Amino acid sequence: MSLVYQISDNLISPLGFTTLSNFDAVVSGSTGLKYYAEGSLGVPEAFCAALIERLLLHEQCHAAGIPQDYTDFDKLIILSATLALRNTGIDSSSDRTVFILSTTKGNISLLAEGFTKGSPDKRLFLWHSAGLLSDFFNNPNKPMVVSNACISGVSAQLVARQLLLSGRFDYAVVVGADLVSKFVVSGFQSFKSLSQQVCRPFDAAREGLNIGEAAGTIVLGRASGVDELPANNLYIAGGSITNDANHISGPSRTAEGLYRAIASAVKTNNHEEPGFICAHGTATPYNDEMEAIALNRVHMQHIPVFSLKAYFGHTLGAAGLIETIIASQALRQSVIPANAGYNECGVTQPVAVNTETKAYACSSFLKTVSGFGGCNAAMLVKKKEVN
């Protein structure tokens, strides 16, 4: 049976411009999150966020030949895709290669420069950014954008998987990114969901999330079966997108959507248990509680689970991609990262929060995400075992 596997990837965050530099930073316990005093980015209240150093970004983009007049967001997605495609030998200008952009707010910070209702700056349209991305690589296909709130990054991978399995494309370049702006910070502040300290997923003292900037790219290809894959290659073994059908801004009390997403993602694998779970774990009181309920409902409360939010913050449309990239690296290297910021269980249904980064060999992981609009997604990634 055909399957979709990972060919290469890239991760850009305050912790580095490559997957490996980010992974090493996670393993060494670094965080990209910093405290920003009131007035930062024009926001009246203080906040904690993970911001990419612009000078470094511009240097890297210059070296990669990305036009200087592009916005930071547009530069970031092109840079991440460039780095991920480097040395893959994939013909990015072929109509057999599709680019998919995952983002929630794209160039939204342009609104702060002033706008006239009815004649918007073209760069505000998410498809415009996707167009610049495919144009940079001379790709002839129509630009694709998946914008599904905070599940976008997993949604986009599952969309890519379906398009590859259908045979229409041979390669998919899935790029996810979001930047931090006054717009996004003030929005989450209005929800009272931001913590001024580094967030503490699943902990009793957690008081909210942090916003982060990142871009992640995963290049996917199709193989005719597991046997065709080289050892240690990772492939998407299952996935599902669901809705809570409950509330647009609060998670379901019964975790209905996430429960269904996980159950469906593992069903196609004979209900095989994943080796670890890379959870959404935003560190808001409601999200983490909901996830604990979902994991208990699918009887996965004993499987080691961690959130990466205390390293990167919540990176919105990039989250599903960058967290898949780190979890994939962990699976390849037989390591499990710690759920940083955790001391004491703060959810009513216990889950096996992994408290230290350590050697840990297994053959699969589950990635979960949930977002506004009541959406949820779960994806099972497996490793081709060495025979």
Residues that bind another protein (CB under 8 A): 44, 98, 104-105, 108, 111-112, 115, 117-118, 120, 124-128, 131, 141-149, 155, 159, 162-163, 166, 168, 182-183, 186-191, 240-249, 256-257, 260, 371-375
Question: Looking at beta carbons only, is 21 or 243 nearer to another protein?
Answer: 243
Residue 334: CA count within 13 A, CB half-sphere: 6
Residue 27, C-beta contacts closer than 8 angstroms, at least 6 positions apart? 335, 337, 357
Strand order through the sheet with 47-50: 34-36, 47-50, 211-212
**Residue 141 or 197 with smaller CB distance to another protein:** 141
Q: Taking the complex as a whole, how short is the minimal distance between the CB of residue 260 and another protein, in angstroms?
A: 6
d(CA 352, CA 324): 19
Q: Provide CB contacts within 8 A for 85, sequence distance 6+.
A: 8, 92, 137, 173, 217, 219
Cα(208)–Cα(14) distance, rounded to whole angstroms?
20
Query: What is the smallest separation between the CB atom of 98 and another protein, expressed in angstroms?
Result: 7
Give the nearest distance from C-beta 96 to another protein in angstroms. Answer: 12
Closer to another protein by CB, 163 or 218: give it. Answer: 163
For another protein, which is the closer residue by CB, 203 or 256?
256
Are the beta carbons of 234 and 226 closer than 8 angstroms?
A: no
Q: List helix spans (H) across 46-193.
A: 54-63, 72-85, 126-136, 152-165, 182-190
Q: How many helices and strands, by DSSP H and E, does the chain display?
A: 10, 15
Looking at the Cβ atoms of 98 and 318, the one nearer to another protein is: 98
* Residue pair 120/111 in contact by the 8 Å Cβ criterion: no
Q: How far is the CB of 129 from another protein (least distance, A)?
A: 10
**Cα three-residue angle 185-186-188, rounded to 5 degrees:** 65
Contact (Cβ atoms closer than 8 angstroms) between residue 341 and residue 199: yes
Please give the structure tokens belonging to residue 166.
């259908």
**Nearer residue to another protein within complex by CB, 122 or 358:** 122
Kindly report the backbone phi and psi dihedral angles of residue 69, in degrees, each rounded to the nearest multiple of 5, phi listed first.
-85, 0
As a whole number of angstroms, the distance between CA 137 and CA 123 comes to: 18
Cα–Cα distance measured from residue 80 to residue 67, given in angstroms and rounded to the nearest whole number: 14
**Looking at beta carbons only, is 315 or 329 nearer to another protein?**
315
- Which CB sits closer to another protein, 40 or 147? 147
Query: At closest approach, how far in Å is the CB of 292 from another protein?
Result: 20
Of 239 and 304, nearer to another protein (C-beta) is: 239
Nearest CB to another protein, comparing residues 198 and 380 = 380
* Smallest distance, another protein to C-beta of residue 323, A: 19
Minimum distance between the CB of residue 141 and another protein, rounded to whole angstroms?
A: 7
d(CA 111, CA 44): 18
Q: How far is the CB of 283 from another protein (least distance, A)?
A: 18
Pairing type for strands 276-278 and 305-306 reads parallel
